[in-house]
A and B are shown apart, each in its own frame.
Chain A
Amino acid sequence: MAQRTVIPFGPQHPVLPEPIQLKLTLKDEIVEEALPHIGYVHRGVEKAAERMDYTQNVFLVERICGICSFIHALCYCQGLERLMGLEVPRRAAYLRVIWSELHRLQSHHLWLGLYADAFGFESLFMEFWRCREMLMDIFEKTAGSRVIISACCIGGVRRDISDQHLQETLDTLEALEAAFDKSSDVMLNDYTVKKRTVGKGVLPADKAILLGAAGPVLRASGVEQDARQTGFAAYDELRVEPVVETAGDCYARAKVRIRECRQSLDLVRRAIAGLPDTDIAVRPKGRPNGRTISRVEQPRGELLYFLAANGTQKLDRLRVRTPTFANVAPLVHMLPGCEVADVPVIVLSIDPCISCTER
């Protein structure tokens, strides 16, 4: 007779880079129900943003997530620029695209490594992270720091990238692409990898829409949606076609991210080729007043900031809606019916960023 067991998966688990707990109800080896519990890394960033100056908040929101720090700052600055009626110079918009896409690249490399580690392929994990080091070196050279790059400011960007650094970036990306092609070939075509990922954690398109999935999880289920299509920063000139797969399983989610890496490489090259020669920032005048919503595409999906300003130095409210929070409900739908050995792979397949989720 089948026996029911409840297993706490997390908050400390070898596969989880950040703490989240899933209470798994098992019937023998099959998951029947998964209940998520969050709240282990809540830092009160939204409340802290109400107490700080709106210019200081740029550095605060970057620290919501280390893996896509620039994109958080971009979303915040974009909202304030709209409230203050600032027109960002084109060069700054292009530089924002370059840094955003480099962040997407390094985030996807980080995820591909962790994902390989989730199904026990440690050497592939190291191969992806070896590639990621090249990207971290680009950040260090161009922005002055490896993780929290602090390159975005209200009205533009804080520093320019010299022609020499642009050329070095292009050279590094060429070396990166050669290494990435080899590693991604293993991820997509290796027999054992496919055995662990194909047909696991399937999310149909209708359920993905119903449960509000975001980013690569949504696009892997065949839904064509990418916030970069709204044309923020310089994406209005550098058009982006969403990368879509239809299978909706873990393999499709990995494939979407691998194809997005190639798309990001292409975007960085196009942005560098078309980099206009203008100023890099405009000086903000006055203080923000009013309410607005700012949307950008994070590596994990759509990021949304709601800003309420009152004409003083401090904001009335800052609300952040992160893509991982949107992807927790689809995850809870994916898990029932899978084997307990597949749980780490399925949990990792949504690219969970719990620090983003809890702020």
Chain B
Amino acid sequence: MMLSSVVRNLFSKPATRPFPVSARTAPDGYRGAVAFEEDVCIYCGACATRCPANAICVDRVAKSLDFDPFKCVQCGACAEACKKGCVQLQIDYQHPVTVHGTVTFHGAPKPTEAP
């Protein structure tokens, strides 16, 4: 058996892909990077309560959301908790960044009353 695999490996292509010429795509339903839709979000904080890694911090009064992608474990608990469907896990994985820090989202400002 081992001799046959030696012969097979001698005449077969490499098992690895020539990245980035042919990149591997993740299947549907893959739990990748978390994405927020800040226009739809009502800043209720349900995602922050459910997050096991404390990666989300919501200020309900100021209507802002801090997300730390380095703490995120991509479990999908936030997407399940969100009533508005504004938290989703993308098919793409979390890309590396050059600066370590949180990403802040803000709600739309309240319409100013007419004088």
Chain A residues in contact with chain B, CB under 8 A? 52-53, 55-60, 63, 123-124, 127, 130, 140-141, 144-145, 148, 150, 158-159, 182-183, 185-186
Contact = CB atoms under 8 A, between A and B. Distances in A.
A186 B80 contact: no
Contacts of B30: 140, 144-145
Interface stretch (B33-41, B58-66, B71-79, B100-108): B71-79
A183 B89 CA distance: 38
A52 B29 contact: no
A56 B31 contact: no
21 contacts: A52-B52, A53-B49, A55-B77, A56-B50, A56-B52, A58-B52, A59-B53, A59-B75, A59-B77, A60-B52, A63-B73, A123-B6, A130-B15, A140-B30, A144-B29, A145-B74, A148-B73, A150-B76, A159-B29, A183-B1, A186-B2
Contacts of B109: none
B73 A123 contact: no
Contact of B80 (A57, A123, A158): A158
Given A56-B52, A130-B15, A140-B26, A186 B1 contact: yes
Interface of A is mostly: helix
Contacts of B2: 123-124, 186
A56 B74 contact: no
Contacts of B15: 130
Given A141-B27, A186-B2, A55 B50 contact: yes
Most chain-A CB neighbours within 10 Å: which of B31, B74, B75, B89? B75
Nearest to B28: A141
Given A56-B52, A130-B15, A185-B1, A150 B27 contact: no
Contacts of A53: 49-50, 52
Interface of B: 1-2, 5-6, 15, 26-27, 29-31, 49-53, 73-77, 80, 89
A57 B30 CA distance: 22
B52 A59 contact: yes
B29 to A, nearest CB: 5
Given A130-B15, A183-B1, 8 more contacts: A53-B52, A55-B77, A56-B52, A56-B77, A59-B52, A140-B27, A144-B31, A185-B1
B111 to A, nearest CB: 37
A256 B5 CA distance: 25
B36 to A, nearest CB: 19
* Closest 8 A/B residue pairs (Cβ): A56-B52, A144-B31, A59-B52, A141-B27, A59-B75, A182-B1, A150-B75, A144-B29
B63 to A, nearest CB: 24
Nearest to A133: B15
A52 B50 CA distance: 10
B55 to A, nearest CB: 12
A182 B5 CA distance: 10
Nearest to A190: B2
